[in-house]
Amino acid sequence: MNDVWLKRLLWLLIPAILILIAAVAVVERVTRPAVAVIPMPVTSIPVENVRTGARIGLAAPDFTLPTLGDKEFTLSDYRGKNVVLNFWATWCGPCRYEVPSFKALHDKYGNDSIVVVAVSSLDNPDSVASYAATNDLDFIIPLDPRGIVSTLYNIRGMPTTIFINDKGIITSIKIGPFINLEEIEERLTSFK
């Protein structure tokens, strides 16, 4: 009789423990400082001496992708400029919601002081081309249909925006859509 109760108790405890472990993992992932806005004074450190990775304070991993205009985009070619690197897809509702804000950012700053790069991830290039033409998007749109660069940057949800300063260092990461241009401009202070 005691063996039956012990087995029932184990069948109840094991799922409860697994749920607790999963909850702790989710809380740890959500509260990681990698998604916080933390201005990093890194201007005195040469980028060659900074570790590379998809976290605030690290050098942004370099990549090359084809763009909508049948050109190639290489991130390191934009060293010396602040880059707003957005990961999005046409099938992502929150991504489409924030596109006008990125268009306004590009229209306001051009590619002179801030370069807007919207990596289309896990999306059909024809859908991206149609969407870009319909919405008159003229910022850089690299195509990552297999999500290789998204994996390199550890993208867990879209949209995700990564702010990279003129030294190539990640200064801020935002997961989720921006509401308007002003919200994006608040993050631009992380470049300093």
For the chain, what is the HEC assignment?
CHHHHHHHHHHHHHHHHHHHHHHHHHHHHHCCHHHCECCCCCCCCCHHHCCECCCCCCECCCCEEEECCCCEEEHHHHCCCEEEEEEECCCCHHHHHHHHHHHHHHHHHCCCCEEEEEEEECCCHHHHHHHHHHCCCCCECEEECCCHHHHHCCCCCCCEEEEECCCCEEEEEEECCCCCHHHHHHHHHHHC
Domain count of the fold of the chain: 2
Give the domain CATH number at 120.
3.40.30.10
Q: Looking at the structure, do residues 73 and 88 belong to the same domain, yes or no?
A: yes
Q: For the chain, which ranges sit under pLDDT 50?
A: 30-45
Q: What's the longest Cα–Cα distance across the chain? A: 78
pLDDT confidence of residue 37: 37
Whole domain around residue 24: which residue ranges?
1-31
pLDDT confidence of residue 33: 42
Count CA within 13 A, CB hemisphere, residue 113.
9
Q: Looking at the structure, do residues 91 and 168 belong to the same domain, yes or no?
A: yes
Q: Looking at the structure, do residues 58 and 3 belong to the same domain, yes or no?
A: no
Q: Looking at the structure, do residues 50 and 85 belong to the same domain, yes or no?
A: yes
pLDDT confidence of residue 35: 39
Q: Looking at the structure, do residues 42 and 111 belong to the same domain, yes or no?
A: yes
pLDDT confidence of residue 142: 97
pLDDT confidence of residue 9: 74
Q: Looking at the structure, do residues 100 and 184 belong to the same domain, yes or no?
A: yes
Q: Looking at the structure, do residues 137 and 183 belong to the same domain, yes or no?
A: yes
Count CA within 13 A, CB hemisphere, residue 90.
18
Q: Looking at the structure, do residues 139 and 55 belong to the same domain, yes or no?
A: yes
Q: Looking at the structure, do residues 20 and 101 belong to the same domain, yes or no?
A: no
The backbone torsions φ and ψ at residue 79, rounded to the nearest 5 degrees and listed phi first, read -60, 135
Q: Looking at the structure, do residues 41 and 26 belong to the same domain, yes or no?
A: no
Lookup: tokens for 143: 């195509």
Q: Looking at the structure, do residues 90 and 170 belong to the same domain, yes or no?
A: yes
Q: Looking at the structure, do residues 69 and 19 belong to the same domain, yes or no?
A: no
